[in-house]
Amino acid sequence: MKKFYLLTPGPTPVPQDVLNEMANPIIHHRTPNFKAIFKETNELLKYVFQTTNPIITFASSGTGAMEASVVNTLSKGDKAIVIIGGKFGERFMEICKAYGVEVIEVKVNNGDAVDSLVIKDLLKKNSDVKAVFATLCETSTATLTDIKSIGEVIRDTKAILIVDAISGLGADVLKTDEWGVDMVVSGSQKGLMMPPGLAFLSVSKKAIELVEKSTLPKYYFNLKKALKTLEKDDTPWTPAVSLVIGLRKSLQMIKEEGIENVYARHAKMSEATREACKAMGLTLLSSSPSNAVTAAWSPQGISGKEIVKFCRDKHEVFIAAGQGELEEKIFRVAHLGYMKKFDIIIAISAVEIALKTLGYKFQFGKGLAKAEEILSTC
């Protein structure tokens, strides 16, 4: 008999009620029926993004909205600051470079968060910077960036702040308008409890000024077109109808729980996961841990990939290895989206059994006991 547990930082599990919504017969998108659904969904998105700005939905993975944020705001030769703390910061840099944007790289060590004073200083020295790219949760290192403080140093400059919140949205606190985030990029398959296939991009007034001037090539991801049709609860191209219908349901669930409670649930699950890892004698990668995912160094002599493979092949528990240079060195457990406390128990138990079988010496059950202790109070 097969029974699997998806505990990766994307895709994440999808609630049955959401799956059921998406199993309904397909409807046409240029109809009052779909437009009403799309309108309601867009209002719910604003609640989760904590913004009054319009939010564009693309039929693509999250990277599509990352690309859209670049090609719609910048022009060839423009200067941008990109904070690079791992694989996804790197991706913003790669997209910028692919379009001929001049990148000022702000590299931070794996697991560390950037100091906003570094950004402040760079902006002072480079008053012609058009955009600053940051990542709310750098999923590859499980690290949270302090977006609020970065927003403060950018607010009174000409530059706009673009934040990749693909994994962070709905897990880590993000106050788009209050913190002055001009563009928030996200995707469906992480905190929003949906399958992959939708990408989102919120657009502030300050960002629209750049959109008006941007000359980088674009066609499918044309924000001007998308913003114009959005006013009529419509899209330039065929939307991913079933996914939008599913999204309305998952966003309703988030609203019902209340965004503050959703953050609190993620905070508790992440605390339990971190403390359980420490109780097993493991060291965490991040000094600024996210609520969405936890990364721990794998013990001496055991590769992170081996732990992940063992959990998958022996127990059908899907956790994640590292990415890039961290592939063998760490393993990552997500506590993201449609997850609750007993998902953490499953993850920690699977990791303990894997570590013990692979020869790591520690007191069996110690991590589990710690997780239970923390989670029993919620």
Ligand X SMILES: *Cc1c(COP(=O)(O)O)cnc(C)c1O
Binding residues vs ligand X (CB under 6 A): 10, 61-63, 88, 135, 137, 139, 164, 166-167, 187, 196
Residue listed under structure tokens 């991913």: 240
75 vs 323, which CB is nearer to ligand X? Answer: 323
161 vs 166, which CB is nearer to ligand X? Answer: 166
Tally of CB atoms within 10 A around 30:
9
Backbone angles phi, psi at 100, to 5 degrees: 80, 25
Q: Least distance to ligand X from the beta carbon of 365, Å?
A: 32
Q: Least distance to ligand X from the beta carbon of 38, Å?
A: 21
Q: Least distance to ligand X from the beta carbon of 190, Å?
A: 6
Largest Cα–Cα distance of the chain, in whole Å? Answer: 62
Give CA 36 to chain center in angstroms: 27
Tell me if 299 sits within 8 A of 282, measured CB to CB.
Answer: yes
Q: Least distance to ligand X from the beta carbon of 144, Å?
A: 11
Q: Least distance to ligand X from the beta carbon of 11, Å?
A: 9
**What span, in angstroms and rounded, lies between the C-alpha atoms of 186 and 57?**
9
Q: Least distance to ligand X from the beta carbon of 377, Å?
A: 29
172 vs 352, which CB is nearer to ligand X? Answer: 172
24 vs 109, which CB is nearer to ligand X? Answer: 109
Q: Least distance to ligand X from the beta carbon of 188, Å?
A: 8
Tokens of 9: 């930082």
**What is the Rg, in whole angstroms, of the alpha carbon atoms belonging to the chain?**
21
183 vs 355, which CB is nearer to ligand X? Answer: 183
Tokens of 39: 């309108």
Report long-range pairs for 18-25 (Cβ below 8 Å, ≥24 apart).
Answer: 18/193, 18/194, 18/246, 18/249, 18/250, 18/253, 19/246, 21/245, 21/246, 21/248, 21/249, 22/195, 22/242, 22/243, 22/245, 22/246, 24/242, 24/245
User: With b meaning 16 or more CB within 10 Å and e meaning fewer, what string describes 248-266?
Assistant: bbbbbbbeeeebeebbebb
Q: Least distance to ligand X from the beta carbon of 163, Å?
A: 10
Coil, strand or helix at 138:
strand
98 vs 369, which CB is nearer to ligand X? Answer: 98
10 vs 13, which CB is nearer to ligand X? Answer: 10
Nearest to 161 by CA among 135, 143, 138: 135
**What span, in angstroms and rounded, lies between the C-alpha atoms of 148 and 29?**
38
**What span, in angstroms and rounded, lies between the C-alpha atoms of 150 and 179?**
9
Q: Least distance to ligand X from the beta carbon of 243, Å?
A: 13
41 vs 135, which CB is nearer to ligand X? Answer: 135
Q: Least distance to ligand X from the beta carbon of 1, Å?
A: 31
Tell me if 279 sits within 8 A of 370, measured CB to CB.
Answer: yes
Tokens of 185: 């990029």
8 vs 349, which CB is nearer to ligand X? Answer: 8
131 vs 375, which CB is nearer to ligand X? Answer: 131
